[in-house]
Amino acid sequence: MTNKINVNEMKLTPKDFKSDQDVRWCPGCGDYSILAQVQRVFPTLGINKEDFVWVSGIGCSSRFPYYMDTYGFHSIHGRAPAIATGLKIAHPELSVWVATGDGDLMSIGGNHFIHACRKNIDIKMLLFNNEIYGLTKGQYSPTSEKGKITKSSPYGSIDYPFNPTSLALGSNATFVARAMDRDTKHLQKMIERAGKHKGLAFLEIYQNCVIFNDKAFEELSEKETKAETTIYLEHGKPMIFGKERDKGIILEGFEPKVVSLKDGKYTEDDIIKHNETDESPVRAFILSHMTDDPNLPTPFGVFRQVLKETYNEALENQITTVTEKLGKGDLESLLFSGNTWEVSG
Amino acid sequence: MENENAIPVQSLETVTVMFAGDSGDGMQLTGSQFSNTTASLGNDLNTLPDYPAEIRAPIGTIYGVSGFQLKFSSTDIHTPGDSPDVLVAMNPAALKKYLPSIKKNATIIANIDSFDAKNFKLAGLESNPLEDGSLNGYRVYEVPITSLTQEALKDCKLSAKEIVRSKNFFALGIMYWMFSRPMEPTLKWLEQKFKNKPEIIKANSIALKAGYYFGDTTEIFTARYEVLPARLPKGTYRSISGNEATAIGFVAASVQSGHQLYLGSYPITPASDILHYLTKYKNFGVKTFQAEDEIAGIASAIGAAFGGSLAITTTSGPGLALKTEAAGLAVMTELPIVIVNVQRGGPSTGLPTKTEQADLLQAMYGRNGESPVAVLAASTPSDCFYMALEASRIAMKFMMPVILLTDGYIANGTEPWRIPHESELPKFNHELETNPEGFQPYSRDENLSRPWAIPGTPGLEHRVGGLEKSNITGNVSYDPDNHDLMCKIRQDKINKIALDIPDVVIDGEDEGELLVVGWGGTSGTLTEAVARARRDGFKVSRIHLKYINPFPKNLGDVLSKFDKILVPEINLGQLSKILRSTYIVNTIQFNKMRGLPFKINDVKEKIEEILGGSNDK
């Protein structure tokens, strides 16, 4: 099943995707940027406007569908992936998107998330990760760091957090990427690639909550620090970073390690070349864990993109095959199937 | 069969047979083969499988006993019978478990090969019941079923274990002989079922025939019976279980409405068979999704309904509890889905393989907020077909979730069904909205239904969701008057359904001293109990409710014409509670929760107790 592509030139613009509803996120919220980038990218995807659907759960991020002039479904907490799954199965030509947050997807909706990944349902999931519960006013979330002091953890959270990209890779998602709300160009690129991926696409977006978790990602987004704390994954290119692009990542066994390219010990050839199309998710999984190591830069970009049959293709194929074999279903024959006998009255 | 011995054949009107053995003994299969053959002879019949929740409970124990009861008759019948006339007991545990429920002078066929010290111990028996006098008064036939099967199959190229496994066909053969049934249907079935395993076909066929000829040639059996065909209405019949009827009913609803059928479901006893059936019907375009949990089952159905499918989810009690929040979302978004709850014993995990009617209040009220849904209940195995169609029709016409209640008894029980032709079925369709001009997602038609506008339709882009919506525009609204209005509209939609469903029909006089009111799967028992009470001279009327929310519009009138209202239910009085609060009438409750259908005589005795023998007698 391919998404319905309009071969005629599309004349859609970002404005076509703005709904008539007032946007009600807090001033300065990272969600505004995500909304703007989605509205910029959507006209370029070659998909009819009426074929886009946004499904969301509960949380600040889940307001998203109201602000997009597409079909939308603001559902209940955690269930957006399941609702999107049913819609996509019923109507495979639609482009189905999920807007969700770290509480919605990583906590209450965790089960739906891993199974949608595992089954390679052809839906696109954007996780707005601000590492806090915003709508319920400031409790720690499943992605908050251990020790975090919040309303529900006054002495510091004792939970270990999830790393969403690791979880997605561990669940065999076929497209896993990360972006940052403030890095708009890169975010657009990632949304575009997620939108064009055939299969489940998972994009984690670090999103700043100005009210309850302000500056959570400051180190990763501010000019002064960002070059040293982040690394951008690019397919086929060596993993080099740093203000002077003088540092690289090597693998020692299964452990990624930062090395200097200045002291003559290592050259570019020693540095890992990122291969996002590796069939095995193992290397991508190792890279995703760099996020949790304070001595390593946090990766952004596409960790993994592989193509394999989607759930939706497999189902449609099965329907076609069975129908070819048995003929199109005939209700009269179904009713009269099995052992029947006549009663002459 | 030619060459039958001289034992005279007695004609009986009705017989109830119980096949019982270890859960590995193949009793369900034996029972269903006997049913199919019996049905094809034109008898009316009704079956009740009784199997353990454990997949393989310890061999030889009471927990491991699996039974299959069927009643067949030359007149029309409505239940699988209270007390079996014949018990086939493959081991001591089976005998011990069912002895209290069979008739006092019943026939017992015991597989004496398994009556040894080890099996007595496993069954918790202190002595051999065949010898200690506990079977006095019964007609007992001791047959070495296992060793006779081994002897008959000694030349088969099967393992010793596989040979022993064929003993249920030997037992079936004896029963075919005893009740003058032909072996051909089962022989034909074996050929089809095991077409790639010729050795198995051969072994089972030999065992079946050996059992039959054992009855024919030995002189241990002193009686043989026949049950003449029933006088059923003219037509083509098949034997059908409630779960299969439910599945076919939804396929029919899909064909008749022109909407693709979508099922989102998580396996749960005793509802899983509906998923098993529907997933086979891919050539009808049926899409089934085995979800990661109950919630995903219903949530995905809601997604599919948003996309224009006839969307359903199937479950049993605990699963319905999990689907609660999402059911409320379907109420709020006014999307058509059907939730099938095959009720089982509760609360919690309860009695997974046993029947109960205790989810009625959960279906009616088990959601947060004012969250009305339509509630329907099927009354017999074949009625599940018509109620599945009806639930689909109502869901689409009124754009709302419908809960269809069946139960473990009618879901797994079977009865002969006069098959309707496609042309006899109603056509119904809630047209999809396509016109963008003046489109409003929460505008209302004469039934207060909102338009069904699905993604992919140009110009109708809109948002739905769980937050309260403004009537007409569908925008999020916190306006107090709008919320009040919307709560009332959602209830008014239910009230409108009452004008669209049939009035309840009274069995008996339309006024009098006593009215028996039943609902759902107790229909067969109550029909027969009332009929028997009438035969004994009592004046009693009966109605059976298949629509519970809303009730048929004449129900209040009907109730008001009777002095006393008896409401037998397999729960603590749930319908009774609703009738009292809706119509301010008094009701007499009759409640038993044994995981089994009522016994006809229990209900009959209650009727007699109420009428006190004075009622025109």
Give the β-pairing of A340-343 and A240-241.
unpaired
**Which of B384, B409, B424 is the last residue in one of the domains?**
B424
Inter-chain CB proximity B236 and A336 less than 8 Å: yes
**Which residues have CB under 8 Å from A244's CB, separation 6+?**
none
Q: Answer yes or no: do B246 and B206 share one domain.
A: no
* A231 has pLDDT over 50: yes
* pLDDT tens, residue by residue, A106-149: 999 999 999 999 999 999 999 999 999 999 999 999 999 999 99
Q: Nearest-5° angle of CA B274, CA B279, CA B281?
A: 105
Inter-chain CB proximity A90 and B304 less than 8 Å: yes
At B189, give phi and psi (nearest 5°).
-65, -40
* B7 has pLDDT over 90: no
Q: Which of B39, B301, B422 comes nearest A341 by C-beta?
A: B39
Structure confidence at residue B366 (pLDDT):
97
User: Edge-to-edge, what's the strand order for the sheet holding B337-343?
Assistant: B287-290, B261-265, B310-315, B337-343, B402-407, B374-377, B547-549
Query: Is A82 in the B-facing interface, judged by CB distances under 8 Å?
Result: yes
Query: Is A48 in the B-facing interface, judged by CB distances under 8 Å?
Result: yes
Q: How far is B300 from chain A (nearest CA, A)?
A: 4
Query: Is A72 in the B-facing interface, judged by CB distances under 8 Å?
Result: yes
Question: What does the block give as tokens for B564?
Answer: 């006393």
* Chain B residues touching A70 at Cβ < 8 A: 461
Q: Answer yes or no: do B257 and B328 share one domain.
A: yes
- Interatomic CA distance for residues B545 and B556, integer angstroms: 13
Sign of the four-CA dihedral B74, B79, B80, B84: negative
Q: Answer yes or no: do B188 and B298 share one domain.
A: no
Inter-chain CB proximity B464 and A329 less than 8 Å: no
Find out whether B578 and B476 touch, Cβ atoms under 8 Å: no
Q: Answer yes or no: do B221 and B245 share one domain.
A: no
Query: Is A327 in the B-facing interface, judged by CB distances under 8 Å?
Result: yes
The number of C-beta contacts closer than 8 angstroms across A and B is 212
Return the percentage of chain B with pLDDT > 90, whole number: 87
Determine which of A234-238, A254-258, B217-221, B410-414 has the lowest per-residue pLDDT on average. Answer: B217-221
* pLDDT tens, residue by residue, A1-57: 445 555 445 589 999 999 999 999 999 999 999 999 999 999 999 999 999 999 999
Residue B103's nearest CA partner among B35, B168, B18, B215 is B18
Query: Is A340 in the B-facing interface, judged by CB distances under 8 Å?
Result: yes
Q: Nearest-5° angle of CA B226, CA B228, CA B230?
A: 145
Q: Could you tell me which chain B residue has the CA closest to the CA of A94?
A: B456
Residue B140 included in any domain? yes
Question: What does the block give as tokens for B236?
Answer: 């083509």
Instruction: State the amino acid at position B360 in one-letter form.
Output: L
* B520 has pLDDT over 70: yes
* Chain B residues touching A19 at Cβ < 8 A: 463
Q: Tell me, what CATH number does B182's domain have?
A: 3.40.920.10
* Chain B residues touching A21 at Cβ < 8 A: 475
Q: Nearest-5° angle of CA A311, CA A317, CA A320?
A: 145
Q: Answer yes or no: do B254 and B282 share one domain.
A: yes
Q: How far is A328 from chain B (nearest CA, A)?
A: 5
- List the domain range (segments joined by +) for residue B373: 238-424
| Half-sphere exposure for A288 (CA within 13 Å, toward CB) | 24
Inter-chain CB proximity A326 and B283 less than 8 Å: yes
Q: Residue B4: which pLDDT band, with cuts at 50, 70 and 90?
A: very low
Find out whether A47 and A57 touch, Cβ atoms under 8 Å: no
Find out whether B239 and B39 touch, Cβ atoms under 8 Å: yes
The DSSP string of B376-434 is: EE--STTHHHHHHHHHHHHHHHHTS-EEEEEEHHHHH-EEEEEPPPGGGSPP---PBP-
- Interatomic CA distance for residues B68 and B76, integer angstroms: 20
- Interatomic CA distance for residues A192 and A126, integer angstroms: 12
Query: Is A7 in the B-facing interface, judged by CB distances under 8 Å?
Result: no
Q: How would you classify residue A245: left for phi > 0, otherwise alpha for psi between -120 and 50, otherwise beta?
A: left
Q: Could you tell me which chain B residue has the CA closest to the CA of A113?
A: B292
Judged on CB neighbours under 10 Å (0-12, 13-18, 19+), B282 is buried
Q: Could you tell me which chain A residue has the CA closest to the CA of B466?
A: A75
Q: Could you tell me which chain A residue has the CA closest to the CA of B36?
A: A339
**Mean predicted confidence (pLDDT) in B412-435:** 94
**Which of B405, B424, B443 is the last residue in one of the domains?**
B424
Inter-chain CB proximity B455 and A50 less than 8 Å: yes
- Interatomic CA distance for residues A22 and B3, integer angstroms: 90
Instruction: State the amino acid at position A210 in one-letter form.
Output: V
User: Edge-to-edge, what's the strand order for the sheet holding B512-519?
Assistant: B541-545, B512-519, B562-569, B588-591
Sequence-ordered strand ranges (E) for chain A: 52-56, 71-74, 95-101, 124-129, 175-180, 201-206, 230-233, 240-241, 247-252, 255-260, 298-305, 340-343
Q: Answer yes or no: do B288 and B366 share one domain.
A: yes
Q: Answer yes or no: do B89 and B195 share one domain.
A: yes
Return the percentage of chain A with pLDDT > 70, whole number: 97
* pLDDT tens, residue by residue, B232-265: 899 999 999 999 999 999 999 999 999 999 999 9
Find out whether A307 and A266 touch, Cβ atoms under 8 Å: no
Structure confidence at residue A44 (pLDDT):
96
Q: Which of B238, B282, B420 comes nearest A323 by C-beta?
A: B282
Determine which of A210-214, A258-262, B45-49 has the lowest per-residue pLDDT on average. Answer: B45-49
Q: Residue B617: which pLDDT band, with cuts at 50, 70 and 90?
A: very low
- Interatomic CA distance for residues A81 and A121, integer angstroms: 9
Structure confidence at residue B50 (pLDDT):
87
- Interatomic CA distance for residues A324 and B136, integer angstroms: 62
Inter-chain CB proximity A49 and B461 less than 8 Å: yes
* B275 has pLDDT over 90: yes
- Interatomic CA distance for residues B317 and B339, integer angstroms: 11
Structure confidence at residue B12 (pLDDT):
87
Inter-chain CB proximity B299 and A55 less than 8 Å: no
- Interatomic CA distance for residues B315 and B341, integer angstroms: 5
The average confidence (pLDDT) of chain B is: 94
Looking at chain A, how many residues does it have? 345
Structure confidence at residue B398 (pLDDT):
97
**Mean predicted confidence (pLDDT) in B380-404:** 98
Structure confidence at residue A10 (pLDDT):
57
Q: How far is B421 from chain A (nearest CA, A)?
A: 6
Q: How far is B474 from chain A (nearest CA, A)?
A: 11
Q: Which residues pair with A68 in a beta bridge?
A: A18
Inter-chain CB proximity B463 and A50 less than 8 Å: no
Query: Is A323 in the B-facing interface, judged by CB distances under 8 Å?
Result: yes
A14-231+299-316 CATH fold: Rossmann fold (3.40.50)
* Chain A residues touching B332 at Cβ < 8 A: none
**Mean predicted confidence (pLDDT) in B439-460:** 97
Question: What does the block give as tokens for B483?
Answer: 């919320």
Could you check whether the bond before residue B441 is cis, i.e. omega within 30 degrees of 0?
A: no
Q: Could you tell me which chain A residue has the CA closest to the CA of B189?
A: A339
Query: Is A63 in the B-facing interface, judged by CB distances under 8 Å?
Result: no
The DSSP string of A187-214 is: HHHHHHHHHH-SS-EEEEEE---TTTST
Return the percentage of chain A with pLDDT > 90, whole number: 94
**Mean predicted confidence (pLDDT) in A77-105:** 98
Q: Answer yes or no: do B273 and B326 share one domain.
A: yes
Q: Which residue has the higher pLDDT, A270 or B224?
A: A270
Q: How far is A33 from chain B (nearest CA, A)?
A: 21
Q: Which of residues 84-143 of A touch B (CB under 8 A)?
A: 84-91, 93-94, 111-112, 114-115
* B612 has pLDDT over 80: yes
Inter-chain CB proximity A55 and B303 less than 8 Å: yes
Inter-chain CB proximity A332 and B309 less than 8 Å: no
Q: Which of A71, A111, A339 comes nearest B293 by C-beta?
A: A111
Q: Residue B614: which pLDDT band, with cuts at 50, 70 and 90?
A: low
Question: What does the block give as tokens for A48?
Answer: 């009819």
Residue B284 included in any domain? yes
Q: Answer yes or no: do B97 and B120 share one domain.
A: yes
Q: Answer yes or no: do B66 and B145 share one domain.
A: yes
Q: Answer yes or no: do B350 and B248 share one domain.
A: yes
Structure confidence at residue A339 (pLDDT):
81
Q: Could you tell me which chain A residue has the CA closest to the CA of B33?
A: A339
* B75 has pLDDT over 70: yes
Inter-chain CB proximity B467 and A74 less than 8 Å: yes
Q: Answer yes or no: do B222 and B366 share one domain.
A: no
Q: Could you tell me which chain A residue has the CA closest to the CA of B289?
A: A86
* B1 has pLDDT over 80: no
* pLDDT tens, residue by residue, B294-319: 999 999 999 999 999 999 999 999 99
**Which of B205, B227, B249 is the last residue in one of the domains?**
B227
Return the percentage of chain B with pLDDT > 70, whole number: 98
- Name the domain count of chain B: 3
Inter-chain CB proximity B304 and A331 less than 8 Å: no
Q: How far is B230 from chain A (nearest CA, A)?
A: 9
Inter-chain CB proximity B282 and A322 less than 8 Å: yes
**Mean predicted confidence (pLDDT) in B48-74:** 87
* pLDDT tens, residue by residue, B11-37: 888 999 999 999 889 999 999 999 999
Structure confidence at residue A6 (pLDDT):
53
Q: Which of A89, A315, A343 comes nearest B237 by C-beta?
A: A343
Q: How far is B253 from chain A (nearest CA, A)?
A: 10
* pLDDT tens, residue by residue, B318-344: 999 999 999 999 999 999 999 999 999
Q: Tell me, what CATH number does B320's domain have?
A: 3.40.50.970
The DSSP string of A48-82 is: -GGGEEEEE-SSSGGGHHHHBSSEEEE--TT-HHH
Residue A140's nearest CA partner among A30, A216, A79, A219 is A216
Q: How far is B291 from chain A (nearest CA, A)?
A: 8
Q: Which residues pair with B315 in a beta bridge?
A: B341
Structure confidence at residue B613 (pLDDT):
61
Q: Tell me, what CATH number does B526's domain have?
A: 3.40.50.920
Query: Is A59 in the B-facing interface, judged by CB distances under 8 Å?
Result: no
Please report, for chain A, the start and end positions of each structural domain, with discontinuous segments joined by +. Answer: 14-231+299-316
Query: Distance of CA B421 to CAs A161, B14, B212, B238, B413, Å?
Result: 60, 30, 38, 13, 23
**Which residues have CB under 8 Å from B230's CB, separation 6+?**
B42, B43, B44, B73, B74, B75, B76
